[in-house]
Chains A and B, each alone.
Chain A
Amino acid sequence: MGSEDVYIAGTDMIKFGKFPDRSVATLGSEAALLALDDAGITINDIEALYSGNLMMASAMVGQQIQKEIGQTGIPVVNCANACATGATALREGWTAIRAGLYDTVLAVGVEKLAGAGMLGGGGGGKVGISPEGLLGSGAMPCVFAEAGMAHSKDYGTSFEQFAQIAVKNHHHSTMNPKARYQIETPLEEVMNAEMISYPNTKLMCSANVDGAAAAVLMSEKKVKELGLMGQAVKIRASVLTTDPWTDRDEVMPDVNTCTRNAAKQAYEMAGIGPDDLDLVELHDCFATAEVLHYENLGLCGDGEAGKLIDEKQTWIGGRIPVNLSGGLLSKGHPIGATGIANVYEISTHLRGGAGKRQVDGARLGLAHVIGLGTCCGIHILEAPSN
């Protein structure tokens, strides 16, 4: 493997929303062009394209994007890895540059998910009856509610503490013009919203939206050649793990172990610890999930997530702000785009461009996603050194 550092030389996302009149390829292409513009380069400079999309995994979305933005004949890799799809596409690009194959690649993540309803569950083949609603539920709100309740069992985490996550992330999103929603949701409103799957109410479930994000990845040599060191965000760690066998994972997807393993590897790769981080974007697909990942990522000790919430340590201005973008709960969760949108958010803070939600002097940030099935992607990013 090459030893050269890899940088995010340009990155952007479209405002997440509901776009019935625009195609997946169009949305992805818009983000791709924004990222190219941010890096000050064109499609003719790109040596490979890594495209992340889940719902149309067989549709050659990367090639569809090429036909919108420039069909230059470069290799395209189409990635699908559940909700870690975007992070996987980005990491494939990182891997190729590290391997010395290319100096400049483009990663795009895109999804149309507005109006998709609940995911997961259902099932039942031609033979037999569907177990959904009889042998419990495999719907995502339930899967992550159960994961949260296992935390409650061990540490007494309360419905109110879970709900505070949604209060925080919706608050953060009021300062992010690219979030799907910019609406304050006080605690009573969160707790009294329609109960979907106890303890997750509707405002504690990620928002199904359309969206796209993109990043231009470059070798250090190329960044210097183009004079982009003043804006290039260094990738200090890029890690992908899957769920190792655990006693319960046949009935309870384990998002904890793969995150802990990924975090350990990422901190080692970056040569830092969680205390060195200035901000985190983590996979709050449901409010319950965010609580688990405080401990999985080492932002606090095991059993201390409730205290972190009570002391507002993960709010803007707190010790370690989490999901300043509004997170999946309010910025929205267009599956294939999420892993790159999180990297965009971290990069924007590290470049000092996050406006009202800016973490002053942010130097190191971590972006985390989970793909149920299961995998975890983590990227640790460092501010430009100028």
Chain B
Amino acid sequence: MSDKPLPITSLLQIPDSGDPYLEGLKCKSCGAIALKQRLACGKCGGRDSYEPCRLSNKGKLHAFSIIYRAFPGIDVPFVSAIADLEGGGTIKTNLIGIEPDPEKIQLGMDVDVVYEIAPRKDGEGNEYLAYFFKPAA
């Protein structure tokens, strides 16, 4: 079992010192930002042309849904959200720190990416660090 939290996805980087951050992959040929390693760029087909690209912790809410019926074992309601990050890259995660009420959640609103320990562990008892959206501070 790891003595440190593990990243919930390959997008999340946890340096030995300093704050965690999200890192996408930018195509050197066309500039497209991918969220995971592919054999070739999805936009231009270029090969071996990715370079790491640190993603911003600031973004704008593009879409959301408030989930009331989920698969067994998942607490509801929660807000599933998609935000475009400053400088490129679009990610999806839960929007927290706001009432799950369509009247309160404004499309286009500014959000911050925040990093918190996930409320579930894997079968070996490992903890995971996750990333969420919060309304911009």
Contact = CB atoms under 8 A, between A and B. Distances in A.
A128 B71 contact: no
A135 B68 contact: no
A203 interface: no
A247 B102 CA distance: 26
B98 to A, nearest CB: 14
Contacts of A248: 62, 82, 84, 90
B66 interface: yes
B35 to A, nearest CB: 5
Interface string B106-137: 01100000000011111000001011000000
B131 to A, nearest CB: 8
Contact of A139 (B64, B71, B122): B71
B130 A134 contact: yes
A258 to B, nearest CB: 14
B96 to A, nearest CB: 10
Nearest to A202: B69
Contacts of A194: 68-69
B4 to A, nearest CB: 15
A135 B130 contact: yes
Contacts of A127: 122
Interface stretch (A148-156, A178-186, A215-223): A148-156
B1 interface: no
Given A133-B75, A250-B35, A197 B90 contact: no
Interface residues of A, number: 38
Contacts of B32: 245, 247
A31 to B, nearest CB: 32
A42 to B, nearest CB: 46
A153 B108 contact: yes
A245 B43 contact: yes
Contact of B34 (A131, A135, A137, A250): A250
B69 A150 contact: no
Interface of A: 118, 121-122, 127-137, 139, 141-142, 145-147, 149-150, 152-153, 159, 194-200, 245, 247-248, 250-252
24 contacts: A118-B69, A128-B122, A129-B128, A132-B74, A134-B8, A134-B93, A134-B119, A135-B8, A136-B92, A142-B80, A146-B64, A146-B80, A149-B63, A153-B63, A196-B67, A196-B68, A197-B67, A197-B80, A199-B65, A247-B32, A247-B84, A247-B88, A251-B92, A252-B90
Interface of B: 6, 8-9, 32-36, 42-43, 62-71, 74-75, 78, 80-82, 84, 88, 90-94, 102, 107-108, 118-122, 128, 130-131
**8 closest A-B pairs (Cβ-Cβ)?**
A136-B80, A145-B65, A133-B74, A153-B107, A251-B92, A198-B66, A146-B63, A245-B43
